[in-house]
């Protein structure tokens, strides 16, 4: 566990509000090597692009073992700290999730508050915070400070009244921070005013989603973001280029 612990510490230290770590979102050994050779210091593995790469649906259309098989392939090929999107937890206990993650070589995780196995319901704020706390305890028991990125889907699900959605997201993520999260992820595309509120009012580094062909690091840094990942959009941009290339040969 010593090597994993060192990678977890490195990953955590890379999160600097105003100087965000860029974590290209990869899905297999090829894309992982592509990002590593480009000089990035750490990576994240996205559930959506992994699911697409194995012909299964996002939102837990694959199971945890499907994901871990791909994680092991990537960590065997790339010697960098890697965070893994574990969706809403696949109905497993925190101990099972942490054990599988570490066995596969991951040192960070995203955990959503949407429960895909229960019709896509949103966990209530304390329920999600409790899960974050269980993951922190399980990681501590394993001797690795797994970097926990607590995600809320309030924005992408357009949950509740828009008038107080930012307030509710902040309250929800503060509970997750208190429970042991290291990073907070109000997933979605936000206007600058909303992004500034999130980065200024939340107590931990904020993960923003970046469009790799449109956004830039400096603009997100100016908004106080501490981490940028690409979600499914890196894969989608590459797919667009591939479609154009292949069209020449029809």
CATH number for 112:
3.20.20.60
pLDDT in tens, the chain (250 residues): 789 999 999 999 999 999 999 999 999 999 999 999 999 999 999 999 999 999 999 999 999 999 999 999 999 999 999 999 999 999 999 999 999 999 999 999 999 999 999 999 999 999 999 999 999 999 999 999 999 999 999 999 999 899 999 999 999 999 999 999 999 999 999 999 999 999 999 999 999 999 999 999 999 999 999 999 999 999 999 999 999 999 999 9
User: 145 with 12: CB under 8 angstroms?
Assistant: yes
What residue has token string 């955990």? Answer: 111
In the numeric block, the tokens 């566990």 are attached to: 1
The predicted structure's pLDDT at residue 215: 96
Domain limits for position 210: 2-247
For the stretch 11-14, contacts whose Cβ atoms lie closer than 8 Å and that sit 24 or more positions apart, written own/partner, are: 11/42, 11/81, 11/83, 11/107, 11/108, 11/147, 12/145, 12/147, 12/182, 14/41, 14/42, 14/81
Overall domain count for the chain = 1
Which two tokens mark 244? 């154009």
- pLDDT in the model for residue 160: 87
Say if CB 23 and CB 227 are below 8 A apart. yes
Assessment of whether the complete model's pTM goes beyond 0.85: yes
Check: CB of residue 186 under 8 Å from CB of residue 214. no
Contacts of 122 (CB under 8 A, 6+ apart): 113, 114, 115, 153, 154, 157, 159
pLDDT value at position 1?
73
In sequence order, what E strands does 95-234 have?
A: 108-111, 114-115, 121-122, 147-152, 183-186, 207-209, 227-229
Q: Are 208 and 228 in contact (CB under 8 A)?
A: yes
Query: Measured between alpha carbons, how far is 81 from 25 in angstroms, rounded to an integer?
Result: 13
State the pLDDT at residue 226.
Answer: 98
d(CA 143, CA 126): 26
């Amino acid at each position: 566990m010593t090597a994993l612990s060192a990678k977890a510490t490195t990953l955590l230290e890379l999160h600097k509000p105003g100087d965000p770590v860029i974590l290209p979102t990869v899905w297999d050994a090829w894309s992982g090597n592509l990002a590593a050779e480009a000089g990035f210091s750490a990576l994240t593995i996205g559930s959506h692009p992994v699911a697409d790469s194995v012909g299964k649906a996002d939102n837990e259309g694959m199971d945890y073992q499907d994901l871990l098989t791909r994680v092991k392939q990537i960590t065997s090929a790339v010697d960098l700290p890697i965070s893994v999107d574990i969706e809403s937890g696949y109905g497993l206990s925190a101990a099972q999730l942490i054990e599988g993650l570490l066995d596969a070589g991951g040192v960070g995780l995203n955990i959503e508050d949407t429960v895909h196995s229960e019709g896509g319901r949103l966990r209530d704020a304390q329920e999600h915070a409790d899960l974050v706390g269980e993951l922190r305890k399980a990681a501590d028991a394993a001797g690795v400070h797994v970097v926990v990125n607590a995600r809320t889907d309030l924005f992408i699900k357009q949950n509740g009244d828009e008038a107080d959605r930012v307030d509710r997201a902040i309250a929800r993520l503060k509970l997750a921070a208190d429970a042991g999260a290291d990073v907070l992820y109000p997933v979605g595309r936000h206007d600058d005013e909303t992004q500034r509120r999130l980065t200024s009012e939340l107590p931990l580094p904020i993960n923003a989603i970046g469009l790799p062909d449109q956004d830039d690091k400096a603009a997100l840094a100016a908004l106080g973001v501490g981490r940028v990942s690409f979600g499914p959009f890196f894969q989608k941009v590459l797919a667009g280029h591939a479609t154009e290339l292949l069209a020449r040969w029809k």
